[in-house]
Structure 1
Amino acid sequence: MVNFIGTYDCKADTKGRVALPVALKNQLTPVLQDGFVLKRSVFQPCLELYPMKEWEGLMEKMNKLNRFVKKNNDFIRRFTAGVKVVEVDAAGRLLIPKNLIDIAGIKKEIVLSSAINIVEIWDKERYEGVIENTADDFAALAEEVMGGGDDDVS
């Protein structure tokens, strides 16, 4: 498993190509040859870039869902809607398909943000808005998600 680090400001050209920053490209090097899957995010107005091995692991988990249960089938359809296999070209660029650019509202300025084992791709304005809007609640969220049971009673 690869764990990515960093947040990077970039630009998308008119064709949807994004030159990956060297620091991120270096982190992607171990998985470049396998390719990537690009999809819309479930919870946010952004895209998610999965290394192929991460995607395959997720698909193994989803493949265990009973397809004769309607909610499972609906979830799979929605989760995989618009999914594209993408590669980083020889010039170190990632081509974001037009339909996914539209879904994420990407204009020209974008942010590539590491999210452990995937990279989120955001329109810069939307990213900054989400970060700003969640700042006040972050301490409470961190405590709820990461706090666990505090067994150390003083």
Structure 2
Amino acid sequence: MNTLIGTYECKADAKGRLMIPAPLKKQLSPVVDKGFVLKRAVFQPCLELYPMSEWEVLMKRVNKLNRFNKKNNDFIRRFTAGVKILEVDASGRLLIPKDLLAFSGITKNIVMASAVNIVEIWDKDKYEQAIDDATIDFADLAEEVMGQDDIDHELP
């Protein structure tokens, strides 16, 4: 799958259903038939929507962990806590389960933000706060992460 692009605002209805914004739906169209996995994010109070193919790649990596190592076992349990398989309904909506709504604090106003090969789903206020908080040290972070000599600077 190609990388996803864009940040989109939408709304959840009273049942936790959200309509995938058309530009994002178009980008996801090659993978929509295989379904998605929705999970809690590790570092933020948001949800992560994985196309099934991306989830399978990640699970191959996780599956290599030795489950007889307590840290690995604890990680796997926490990482997969609350994981749900989702499908887009006939109307183009996703239903966010109640436990994941509660974890993320999503009520009505939502931001769906592309994050390379997945989509983060945020409560709008929490997303804006996270972006504001990250702005303070983003220059230092960008230099530390992307300014390393180990990155291949050749273009494809």
The interval holding the TM-score normalised by the smaller chain is over 0.9
Corresponding residue for residue 67 of structure 1: 67
Deviations 1:25-77 (A, max 9, x none): 00010000100000000000000000001000110111100010010000000
| Residue 134 of structure 1, CA deviation | 1.0
How does 1:44-123 map onto structure 2 within 5 Å? 44-123=44-123
SS in 2 for 1:30: coil
Corresponding residue for residue 137 of structure 2: 137
Instruction: Report the TM-score when normalising by structure 2.
Output: 0.94
Deviations 1:90-148 (A, max 9, x none): 11101100100000000100100000000000000000000001111001100100001
Corresponding residue for residue 36 of structure 1: 36
Distance 1:64 1:21 in 2: 36
AA matched with 2:68: F
Distance 2:83 2:53 in 1: 15
Distance 1:113 1:70 in 2: 34
Question: Which ranges in structure 2 are unaligned for 5 or more consecutive residues?
Answer: 151-156
Corresponding residue for residue 16 of structure 1: 16
Distance 2:110 2:146 in 1: 29
Deviations 1:5-42 (A, max 9, x none): 00001000000000111100000100001000000000
Distance 1:12 1:97 in 2: 12
Distance 1:21 1:62 in 2: 31
SS in 1 for 2:89: coil
Instruction: Report the TM-score when normalising by structure 1.
Output: 0.95
| Residue 149 of structure 1, CA deviation | 2.6
* Identity over aligned pairs, percent: 69
Question: How many residues align structurally?
Answer: 150
